[in-house]
Structure 1
Amino acid sequence: MSADDAYEPDPRRWRALSVCLAVGFMTLLDVSIVNVALPSVRDALGASEAALQWVVSGYALAFGLVLVGAGRLGDAFGRRDVLIAGIGVFALGSLLAGTAQDGTWLVVARLVQGVGGGIVNPQVSGLIQQLFRGAERGRAFGRLGTTIGISTAVGPLLGGVILAVAGPEQGWRWVFLVNLPVAVLAVVLALRYLDPPGRRERAADLDAVGAVLLGVGVVGVLWPTVSRAWAPGDLALAAAGVVALVGFVAWEHRVTARGRTPMVQPSLFRRPGFTPGALLALTYFSGFTAIFFVLALFLQNGAGYSPLEAGAAITPFALGSAVSSAVGGRLVGSRGRHVVVAGLVLVLVGVTATDVLLAVRGVSPGIAWWIAPPLLVAGVGSGLVIAPNQTVTLSQVPVEQAGAAGGVLQTGQRLGAATGIAVVGSLYFAGAAGGDAGVGAAHGLRATVALVAVALAIGVADLVRSARRARTGADRPAS
């Protein structure tokens, strides 16, 4: 009997979901909350431009690095215990970041934070798969989408509030230290509302070789974009990363052929909608996360906004996402990938209009009011992308593979975020090098538009394939 056949609704499932979403919010908030603190970090620690990018990209890189392995651990040993372990690692990284004495210290702390966040998040999506079925699952993922959208978009505003209250000299430290009481409360609530693990797999059954190959591959491929060096040594490391990823795929097939459990089941990628959904997530997050990085820098360095004002200026995106994520979670059950495609069109329109308005209005003090409507449109679109895409992509994944599958999907999101911030950030700094932040913002936003357009093409192609499968009666889950 499958896990789906044995499903009995947990009466505490909505409270358990609230705990998971609170933890997810805390870890995802740290993707963007640090953006408005970067000028203060630079002044307080004398951090270089490269270090500042590592503070942002290093978090996303470490986050994405451990997602698949952490998801597999949750599947094997129980998602509650792995979730609590991840919270502990994240809290440790937050403490180290809040007490950093130089740029290198802060970068290392952010890597630790990223590892903790990467351990936590596949447990959240796995627990949703485990606790909910049918229409309830769509609504639960809708709440997760709201959490993802709001946490990323509202980060600059909350960061600005903290800096305004605590002051720019020490306020950036509290951007990290504020996580500590939240982490303690989250552990207490997780122990109360999440069930302890039942059957555990043997540690010897875990795919350690696959974990190493995947880790080497991810780090190797992303290193040049994060380091921004593109020196011969960096390119050699990228080539080694590609070789490691090819080796990972071959190894997973070998493990499966031997009748053992791989880190990622190869059949996962044959399930309808999973591969295009993962690719769509990767490309969309490459542009989505970079929007806030570019605008936070432009508004502060170009328009002369304070961190709080810059954060408030980006808030319309969060508001739009908050409303539409819940709506998307209800619509996705009947409309599927169509909801995602409609959302991508709105994001494309909103970001393009923002770029046009920045070009027309320049760095005028009232620029925030001009870009608020298109950012609201983009936020509405984003809410229709993230949660519905996650629901559709994971809809035919069995519960016993939910953690690893969620890890694969979120790896695409996090690696896309790391790559997008590195590439789009480089374009921003290159454009602003002459002293005009508006040129930098234009370069960054147009790169974002291109990335969202690629995600839209992937979504449309999947709709066409789904329609073809429906006509031929071939839309069946892979075994």
Structure 2
Amino acid sequence: MSGDRASTPVRDTGYDDRRRWRALGVGLVAAFMTLLDVSIVNVAVPSIDRALHATPSDLQWVLSGYALTFGLVLVPAGRFGDARGRRTAFVVGVGMFTLTSAVAGLAGSPEWLIVARLVQGAAAGVVNPQVSGMIQELFRGADRGRAFGLLGATIGISTAVGPLLGGLLIQLGGAEHGWRWVFFVNIPVGIVAMLLGWRLMPAGATGAAGRHRLDPVGVLLLGAGVTVVLLPLVQREQWHGAGKWLLIPVGLLLLAGFALWERRYARHSQPLFDLRLFTVRSYALGALIGLIYFAGFTAIFFVFTLYLQIGLGYSALVAGLAITPFALGSAVASALGGRVVTRYGRPLVAVGLLGVVVGLVATDLVLSGGPGENVPLRTALPLLVAGLGSGLVIAPNQTLTLSEVPVPMAGSGAGMLQTGQRIGSAAGIAAVGALFFSTLADDGGDWGTAFRHSLLLAAGIVALALVAAMVDVAAGLRNRGERGRR
């Protein structure tokens, strides 16, 4: 990577400094809106249940269907943006998301809401790779780190602040119809993002158009593989029996078939995803770190919300406020991490992962004497520490992972990175959730013990990501030592 002065237009794009930062701002708003809908609906489930008389299976599809279709389209959408231009993909995606948000808010039955959520998740999957790809296209050097820092802050805040904003909207809208405002709030934001996106986002393709076919066989194999892997994870509570886990090896076989097809397809055309990216250490290890970290990171909010609302009887608003220290810490550290990642590299990610582990273990320790009173207040400081660590993980890891990805592959490379994160999130929630509910059943309804055991498992998963980061750090030190001896 080569640095560039902040006031200098990016080569070959025609974008001056002001326009590219404005384009980034529009992209971040859209990304925040789509990522927020991963977690904001969690606190609305009781209201949806009362209003629509939904079954547990219906509610599970409202929550997990969004994540399923989100992960399904990330790589094809990124490839489309690379091949046909990010502006078209971005505006269409935001338009679909806005329309389906309105449809979801007007839902009169569980089936209506489920279909709206499935399409809404697919729309979110179209939008997000365009934002990462745009950063790769328009920013260089330290500015790229700062841009990814802002994107990382957006990811961290949207995930953590969802329960708070959802609780606030339900409080303002009332118990009966407040859940509808969780969806309606996207409409004005989406309309503005569409208009500004059409004006500011890069319009043209980033590579040779002749080689940029859309690889329908690759799309089908990847889509089938991701679906079959994710389905038993997102339906873990409603799909009883061990048979569902047999789908995971089937899905892995489909993904292996995808890899073989892509290798063959790459001989004569640009593939859906260029597997050579996995031979780049920064991309391969960064994608692995992202997958593992999101398995631990996302699961925290799932079990904490259950513990506070159902176990301890706190309101949705208070449960959301309890997670705010993590969100604030993540926001501050993400902005800082984006600025210094080009200086410190992967060791910065390792420090962040260590901070998350320390914060989660400290949260467990402050609750070790039993739930007591003022749980949100008692957990505020350790969750702040964990949030500060998280901010040094998400944005810097994304910057480093995509740093050596060629711009014509930026969308598909970012899409595969985010697909791994979605799979990690689903797997982590399945594993941590299974431990939470089994502990709850074995200990006769002891919510505190169930939460603490789940918290330690999440910390252990994050520690595995720390091991992967240290492998990369050690490899980097070894390479520098070998170069120094020459």
TM class by smaller structure: over 0.9
Q: Is 2:46 the counterpart of 1:39?
A: yes
Q: Indicate the residue corresponding to 1:314 in structure 2.
A: 323
Cα distance, 1:28–1:381 mapped onto 2, change above 3 Å: same
Q: Is 2:249 the counterpart of 1:239?
A: yes
More displaced stretch, 377-386 vs 238-247: 238-247
Cα distance, 1:161–1:27 mapped onto 2, change above 3 Å: same
Counterpart Cα distance in 2 of 1:81 and 1:34 = 28
Q: Indicate the residue corresponding to 1:354 in structure 2.
A: 363
Shift of 1:8: 5.6
Q: What CA deviation, in whole Å up to 9, does each residue of 1:306-338 have, x standing for no partner?
A: 111111111000110111001101110010011
Aligned residues of 2:90 and 2:127 also touching (Cα < 8 A)? yes
Cα distance, 1:355–1:107 mapped onto 2, change above 3 Å: farther
Shift of 1:39: 2.2
Q: Indicate the residue corresponding to 1:302 in structure 2.
A: 311
Amino acid in structure 2 at the alignment position of 1:84: V
Aligned residues of 1:317 and 1:380 also touching (Cα < 8 A)? yes
Q: What RMSD, in angstroms, separates the aligned Cα atoms of the two structures? A: 2.1
Shift of 1:109: 2.2
Shift of 1:42: 2.6
Q: Indicate the residue corresponding to 1:464 in structure 2.
A: 474
Shift of 1:90: 1.4
Q: Percent identity?
A: 54
Counterpart Cα distance in 2 of 1:30 and 1:43 = 20
Amino acid in structure 2 at the alignment position of 1:180: I
Amino acid in structure 2 at the alignment position of 1:106: L
Shift of 1:293: 1.3
Look up the SS of the partner of 1:453 in the other structure.
helix
Shift of 1:418: 2.0
Counterpart Cα distance in 2 of 1:152 and 1:134 = 27
Q: Is 2:196 the counterpart of 1:193?
A: no
Counterpart Cα distance in 1 of 2:340 and 2:294 = 22
Amino acid in structure 2 at the alignment position of 1:359: S
Q: What CA deviation, in whole Å up to 9, does each residue of 1:10-33 have, x standing for no partner?
A: 330010110000000000111111
Amino acid in structure 2 at the alignment position of 1:237: L
Cα distance, 1:63–1:134 mapped onto 2, change above 3 Å: same
Amino acid in structure 2 at the alignment position of 1:251: W
Cα distance, 1:264–1:173 mapped onto 2, change above 3 Å: same
Q: Indicate the residue corresponding to 1:223 in structure 2.
A: 231
Which residue of the other structure, out of 242, 246, 270, is the alignment partner of 2:279? 270
Which residue of the other structure, out of 196, 205, 219, is the alignment partner of 1:211? 219
Q: What CA deviation, in whole Å up to 9, does each residue of 1:110-157 have, x standing for no partner?
A: 221111111100000000011100110000001111111111111111
Amino acid in structure 2 at the alignment position of 1:403: G
Q: Pairwise mapping of residues 252-401 of structure 1 onto structure 2 (< 5 A)?
A: 252-257=262-267, 259-362=268-371, 364-401=372-409
Counterpart Cα distance in 2 of 1:72 and 1:208 = 11
Amino acid in structure 1 at the alignment position of 2:166: G
Amino acid in structure 2 at the alignment position of 1:355: D
Counterpart Cα distance in 1 of 2:211 and 2:112 = 33
Q: Indicate the residue corresponding to 1:477 in structure 2.
A: none
Counterpart Cα distance in 2 of 1:417 and 1:90 = 21
Q: Indicate the residue corresponding to 2:146 in structure 1.
A: 139
Aligned residues of 1:351 and 1:449 also touching (Cα < 8 A)? yes
Cα distance, 1:150–1:385 mapped onto 2, change above 3 Å: same
Aligned residues of 1:82 and 1:120 also touching (Cα < 8 A)? yes
Counterpart Cα distance in 1 of 2:128 and 2:330 = 20
- Number of aligned residues: 470
Q: Indicate the residue corresponding to 2:16 in structure 1.
A: 10
Q: Indicate the residue corresponding to 2:96 in structure 1.
A: 89
Counterpart Cα distance in 2 of 1:251 and 1:203 = 16
Shift of 1:202: 6.0
More displaced stretch, 57-66 vs 438-447: 438-447
TM-score norm. by structure 1 comes to 0.93
Counterpart Cα distance in 2 of 1:374 and 1:305 = 20
Counterpart Cα distance in 1 of 2:227 and 2:59 = 19
Structure 1: gaps (5+ residues): 475-479
Counterpart Cα distance in 2 of 1:472 and 1:405 = 30
Cα distance, 1:278–1:379 mapped onto 2, change above 3 Å: same
Look up the SS of the partner of 1:169 in the other structure.
coil
Structure 2: gaps (5+ residues): 3-9
Cα distance, 1:415–1:40 mapped onto 2, change above 3 Å: same
Amino acid in structure 2 at the alignment position of 1:218: V
Aligned residues of 1:9 and 1:132 also touching (Cα < 8 A)? no
Aligned residues of 1:81 and 1:197 also touching (Cα < 8 A)? no
TM-score norm. by structure 2 comes to 0.92
Q: Indicate the residue corresponding to 1:410 in structure 2.
A: 418
Shift of 1:38: 1.9
Cα distance, 1:40–1:326 mapped onto 2, change above 3 Å: same
Cα distance, 1:106–1:446 mapped onto 2, change above 3 Å: farther
Which residue of the other structure, out of 54, 64, 71, is the alignment partner of 1:57? 64
Counterpart Cα distance in 1 of 2:447 and 2:96 = 37
Look up the SS of the partner of 1:168 in the other structure.
coil
Shift of 1:303: 1.8
Shift of 1:473: 4.0
